[in-house]
Amino acid sequence: MDYSSSAKESAPAGAAWWSRETVAVVTGANRGIGHALAARLAEHGLTVVLTARDGARGEAAAAPLRARGLAVVFRALDVSDPASVAEFAAWIRDDVGGLDILVSSFAPFVAVQVNNAAVSFNEINTNSVEHAETVIRTNFYGAKMLTEALLPLFRQSPTTSRILNISSQLGLLNKVSDPSLKALLLDEETLTEAAIESMVSQFLAQVKDGTWGEQGWPKVWTDYSVSKLALNAYSRLLARRLQARGARVSVNCFCPGFTRTDMTKGWGKRTAEEVAGVGARLALLPPAELPTGTFFKWCTPQLYSKL
C-alpha cells in the first residue's frame, strides 16, 4: 500500500491519543538513535522501557532521563539471545502487563515497539562480510524473534498498537541486481517467512564459500544491507499477516538516513536527536493517519515510498 504524509520533528498535531499509561519499548537504546528516541517518546509523556545488552551502560543511559522526571525504566535485553528475549517477554507480561509500541532500532497502555538494536562492523567506504553471521543474527533474526515474542502481549487498543523498525534504504530492492531474488521479494502472494530465511541462509552460505561478491547482493555494506533487506521483507509480510487477521497492530519501517552515531564513526548528515524527532512522530501518528506495511525514508515531505 502507498502512503504519503509530512513528517516534521514535532509531535503529531491535535489531541494526544497516548498517556503515561502508554508503554513504548525501545531496543538498543543506551546510545545513538535508540537513546534519542527513548528520550523523545518519554518527553511526549509515554512510559518508556529502555533496553540494552549491557546492564551498566543501559542503567547509565536511563538514569539522567529519570532525573529529568521522565517515565523511563531500564531492562537488559540481548535481541540475539533467545533466553534473554524470553525473559524480557515474560517480564513485560507479568510485571508490566503488556505493551503498546515497539521501536526496534538496531521497538491507555498502548503498545508501541521501536526496534532499534542493530550492528555493523563496516567502516566508512569499506565492505567486509567477516562478521556477516553476527550482523544477520542481530539485525534480522533478533528483531524478528523479539517481535514474535511480544506480539501476543500487544494490547489491542482502539488507537492501534504499533511496531516501528529502524531500517535502511540499503535494504531496498533497488539495491539488488539478481532478478530472481527481486522477483521472490516482489511477489506478495507467494512470499513467506521461510523464503526470507532461505534467502538469508543462502547469503551466509555464499559468504562461507567466498562466492557472495558475484551473486547480485547489495554492493554497499553488504551484510548490513542484506540484514535490512530481510527485515524490510519480514515487516511487509508481518503487516499483511496481522491485517488479514484483523489485529490492531501496525508494522512500519523508517530509514533515518546517514546519521551521526557511533556506527558511522560520527559521520552523517543529521544528528540522532533530529532523527528521533521524526521517528517519534511516526511512532505517534494519529490512528486515522496510521498506515501499515510502509517504508518511511528520510527525504522531503510527501515522498515516502512503499516497502
pLDDT tens track for 47-106: 999 999 999 999 999 999 999 999 999 999 999 999 999 999 999 999 999 999 999 876
Average pLDDT over residues 152-163: 88
Q: How much of the chain exceeds pLDDT 90, in percent? A: 58
pLDDT one-digit tens code per residue, 237-248: 999 999 999 999
**Is 285 a domain residue?**
yes
**Is 199 a domain residue?**
no
- Angstrom distances, CA of residue 244 to CA of 228, 248, 285: 24, 10, 22
Domain count, the chain: 1
Structure-model confidence comparison of residues 34 and 262, the more confident one = 34
Domain residues for the domain of 70 are 23-126+133-169+228-299
Structure-model confidence comparison of residues 116 and 61, the more confident one = 61
pLDDT at 264 over 80: no
The residue written with cell numbers 507480561 in the block is 93
Q: Catalytic annotation on 224?
A: yes
pLDDT at position 19: 94
Residues 6+ apart with CB under 8 A from 205: none
User: Given 141, 224, 234, 304, which residue is catalytic?
Assistant: 224
**Separation of alpha carbons 225 and 229, rounded Å:** 6
pTM of the model: 0.85
**Is 195 a domain residue?**
no
**Is 272 a domain residue?**
yes
Kindly report the number of other CB atoms within 10 A of residue 58's CB atom: 22
CATH number of the domain that residue 63 is part of = 3.40.50.720
pLDDT at position 274: 87
**Is 18 a domain residue?**
no
